[in-house]
Amino acid sequence: MSKIDYKKELKELYRPSAKQVVEVHVPAMNFLMVDGKGEPGSKDYTDAVAALFSVAYTLKFMIKQGEQAIDYGVLPLEGLWWAEDMSDFVKGNKSNWIWKLMIMQPELITDKLVQTAASQVAEKKDLPALEKVRFESFSEGRAAQTLHVGPFSQEGPTVERVHEFIRESGAELAGKHHEIYLTDIRRAAPENWKTVIRQPMC
């Protein structure tokens, strides 16, 4: 059985340094996705997370135990964040925040496999957001990113560093605020949480 560490293979995208902001090119990749609205940690949010990881882990074991016999680590949760009125996002009016939660999938995952995995999950668990899970390609292209270490509530200065980098590069912000959650927050102190902060640019 072969093993693939996608976070290592995609180190530039999933293991940035906290010491500096860097420019990256994010290619088109396939994701499991769920769309929603409201405060992080709300029922809709936690339902989406549960559905995404349930399908992602089912896919992992399907590949590991199937003919391909490839073992790989499930990629981290990612989130795109915005608001219809961006002042709600800046001011922290979280009930108006819009999000797209995602988990990147290896190239060997197909839409048919996702449908099979979702059906298997449905047989075992009653997950309200399962029917919202979809499989879709997503591309960001040119972006700036860095690593934030600490609680989410203290991301502001890190986000501003990324935005300043973009402005100093003579570019403009484009697309949606992107976060990649590298830490299982249930098992680590907030001061140790690691989050990739990414902002597309043009």
Ordered DSSP codes for 59-91: HHHHHHHSTT-EEEPPPPEEEEEE-SSHHHHHH
Residue range 167-172: mean pLDDT, rounded: 98
pLDDT of residue 90 exceeding 80, the answer is no
Phi and psi torsions of 120, nearest 5°: -65, -40
Q: How many residues does the chain have?
A: 202
Residues 131 and 163 in one domain: no
Do 31 and 138 form a contact (C-beta atoms < 8 A)?
yes
Write out pLDDT tens, residues 2-51.
999 999 999 999 999 999 999 999 999 999 999 999 999 999 999 999 99
Round to whole Å and give the CA distance between 174 and 92: 20
Residues 96 and 174 in one domain: no
pLDDT of residue 1 exceeding 90, the answer is no
pLDDT of residue 200 exceeding 90, the answer is yes
pLDDT of residue 150 exceeding 80, the answer is yes
Least confident of 45-49, 82-86, 111-115: 82-86
Amino acid at 154: Q
Total number of domains constituting the chain: 2
Amino acid at 141: G
Average pLDDT over all residues of the chain: 96
Residue 186: give its domain's CATH number.
3.20.80.10
Residue ending a domain, choose from 138, 157, 191: 138
pLDDT of residue 89 exceeding 90, the answer is no
Residue range 71-76: mean pLDDT, rounded: 97
Residue that has been written with the tokens 């420019």 in this structure: 23
